[in-house]
Amino acid sequence: MFIPLMKDLNISWAEIKATPRYELQGLATALSEFNILHSYDGYSAKDIDELAKDKPEMRDKYNTYLDKRRQYGLEKAATSFDALKL
């Protein structure tokens, strides 16, 4: 848990020791959410289809990415069949 905080958020070991555990857990959770929300930025659905041919698990991760973006209002769900066309 400490290495991602130190690496990605540039928190020193002294700051980690001085911070309460619940705050560290909150920071780690927020970092995880941020990484999921921005994991497929720049990819289109067609790109994911091409990548999923070699690695089918990419589609599950991409769907998790879209679900999180919808949860935070960054992406709208498809409401018609025309929007689902690739």
- Determine the pLDDT at residue 61: 92
The 10s digit of each residue's pLDDT in 26-82 is 999 999 999 999 999 889 889 999 989 999 899 999 999 999 999 888 877 666 666
Q: Are residues 82 and 47 in the same domain?
A: yes
Closest CA to 43 of 24, 57, 61: 61
Domain of 46 in residue numbering reads as 42-86
Q: 7 with 27, same domain? A: yes
Indicate if 31 and 55 belong to the same structural domain: no
Instruction: Clarify whether residues 5 and 29 are in a common domain.
Output: yes
Q: Using one digit for the tens of pLDDT, what is the confidence trace for 1-34?
A: 778 888 888 999 999 999 999 999 999 999 999 9
Token couple for 8: 């990605």
Residues 84 and 51 in one domain: yes
Q: How many domains does the chain have?
A: 2
Judge if 46 and 85 occupy the same domain.
Answer: yes
Q: Identify how many contiguous H helices and E strands the chain contains and give both numbers.
A: 6, 0
Residue 52, CA distances (Å) to 16, 46, 56, 80 in order: 39, 10, 5, 24
